[in-house]
Structure 1
Amino acid sequence: MLSNLPEYSKNVFRRNYFSWLIQQCRGWGKFSYGLLLFNLILQIISLVQSVSVAPVQSIISFIGGNLSVACVIGISNRSGIQGWAGALSAICIASVGFAAGNYATACEQIGYLLFLDLFCILDPKWNDDIQAEKFNSAIEWLYYLLFFAGAWLVIYYLFSLTNDPRVFLDSLNLAMAITGSLLELNRKREQYFIWTISSLFTIALWTQTMLQGDGNFALIFSYSVFFLNDMYAFFSTRGWFRTASK
């Protein structure tokens, strides 16, 4: 990072930077804009339902839920807005996670902020020339499954030492996030299976959180939209998963 700091500085501290960011939100597909609008409507419903009970947490969840979806859709469209949207949503979701006792999920968001979102801001075109690769053999699945199992075992033990009320699902989500990030680092197309399954378990985590009185619908809605976006990536001819297979 330090060796590339002059170049990174030019990427951010330049003329018309904010107008360039706005431009990054244009030219997306109709499905992407539809998901943004659909999520916004759901987030407003969640905010109205919960703001009288927990106003601060509800507003933070509302902001985080909208920005996180903007980040994921930005990634799907290879848009430079993903860095800022991801960083700000990570701060919001981490705050809600710590307040709810979902400490592993909160740490997951801090990890995204430091090791992914920050570099997306400093180098917004990092993914322009990336070529996804497929697993060469089934043995690679075994390696990553063993890595996931080991990571989950360690994470579960560490967070069981805290007062995390949902340590099973919470640690599971962090282990899946680390495994998915490793697949992403190695440019493996199969990462999409991990992110899709992770969305389902995260929905389960925040549903349990809400039922136990520590959350609301906001993050349930946003991760449900993530899942829809994943389905688009799998089955649409313009989706990332299909594009990477060609």
Structure 2
Amino acid sequence: MQNSEQHGHTFSDSQDVEDIALTSVLKPSWYIEQMKGWTKGSYILLVIGLVIIIGTTFLSPITPISLVTMFAAVLGFTCTISITNTKPLNGVFGLVSALIYIVVAFTAKNYSDMLLQAVYIVLLDIPVLMMPGWAKNVGSRVRQIKDTPHAGRTWALFALFFIVVLGALYGFEASFTDSPRPFIDALSAAIGVTGALLTTLRYSDTYYFWLAQGIMSVVLWGITALQGGANWVLFITYLLYLSNDFIALFDKGVAWFHKETMENDMLE
């Protein structure tokens, strides 16, 4: 999520429509507001993560690509934590970080990861920037597939979607590119695309996909770094995205998996 996306994407909880408009997201005060009300664990993880990302960058050889990767990692990691807290910080931050990740992925020949970042832009960043109200009252609309009508059919449709995306991405990479990691790249991206769709539809089940995608991204960028195709900053960043996924799973202050607990606390 990257978280993602991943942690790198979602919406706000209680702001008026005009506060989500494009003119608002260009104001520094808007970003300050979006970083309020996070869980304590999220704030701690943010500080630790930023220190690790910046420290890892400057402990490694400094190159233009390492510096832009650091910048994208800082923005992307912050966006991922904001998603966990149902805040729409991903608008500009997510767009910029995703564009940089596309360049880095192209340089590393991880072409499916490039497509994944483009999907994040279309499904999760542009709506926040261009559609007032997209980010309104997300916490109250989070749901699980099992609680919806025809849950089995819904899961089957998502499974079919995943298989089709995986087949298309792998076929493209294996047949038309010089990717040295076609299957791992395609698998990681297919999980991420499916997770992005679930996030857009506000299913909390998305975090199972973000968790799996986080693991696959760690594997993908770890292998990429070992093969000399990238620096270690992205590998470290995806480890941090993975830690954010665990916050979503276990922190009772997060609406994605603990909506009922939060509602009961408010009633007490």
TM-score, scaled to structure 1: 0.87
Structure 1: which amino acid aligns with 2:27?
Y
The Cα shift of 1:203 comes to 0.6
Distance in 2, matches of 1:245 and 1:230, equals 19
Query: Hey, what does 2:66 align to over in structure 1?
Result: 58
Query: Which of 205, 229, 241 matches 1:190?
Result: 205
Query: Which of 11, 18, 38 matches 2:28?
Result: 18
Give the 3-state SS of the residue equivalent to 2:145 in structure 1: coil
The Cα shift of 1:202 comes to 0.5
Distance in 2, matches of 1:16 and 1:92, equals 19
Distance in 2, matches of 1:133 and 1:10, equals 22
Q: Please report the RMSD computed on the Cα atoms of aligned residues, expressed in angstroms.
A: 2.4
The Cα shift of 1:245 comes to 5.5
Question: For 1:127-155, what per-residue CA distance to the aligned partner results, in whole angstroms no more than 9, with x for missing partners?
Answer: 33231222244453333223212210111
Give the 3-state SS of the residue equivalent to 1:27 in structure 2: coil
Unaligned runs of 5+ residues in structure 1 are 1-6
Query: Hey, what does 1:149 align to over in structure 2?
Result: 163
Distance in 1, matches of 2:210 and 2:107, equals 24
The Cα shift of 1:174 comes to 1.6
Distance in 2, matches of 1:188 and 1:38, equals 28
Aligned residues of 1:46 and 1:216 also touching (Cα < 8 A): no
Q: Which has the higher contact order (CA 8 A, sep 6+)?
A: 2
Q: Compared with structure 1, are the counterparts of its residues 108 and 183 closer, same or farther at alpha carbon in structure 2 (3 Å cutoff)?
A: same
Query: Hey, what does 1:111 align to over in structure 2?
Result: 119
Q: Percent identity?
A: 28
Query: Which of 107, 128, 153 matches 1:99?
Result: 107
Structure 2: which amino acid aligns with 1:57?
I
Q: Compared with structure 1, are the counterparts of its residues 42 and 124 closer, same or farther at alpha carbon in structure 2 (3 Å cutoff)?
A: farther
Deviates more, 1:137-146 or 1:232-241: 137-146
TM-score, scaled to structure 2: 0.80
Query: Hey, what does 1:3 align to over in structure 2?
Result: none
Question: For 1:3-24, what per-residue CA distance to the aligned partner results, in whole angstroms no more than 9, with x for missing partners?
Answer: xxxx889923369932222332
Structure 2 residue 173 is matched with structure 1 residue 159 = yes
Query: Which of 213, 229, 235 matches 1:214?
Result: 229
Aligned residues of 2:20 and 2:135 also touching (Cα < 8 A): no
Q: Compared with structure 1, are the counterparts of its residues 187 and 40 closer, same or farther at alpha carbon in structure 2 (3 Å cutoff)?
A: closer
Query: Which of 200, 207, 232 matches 2:247?
Result: 232
Give the 3-state SS of the residue equivalent to 1:13 in structure 2: helix
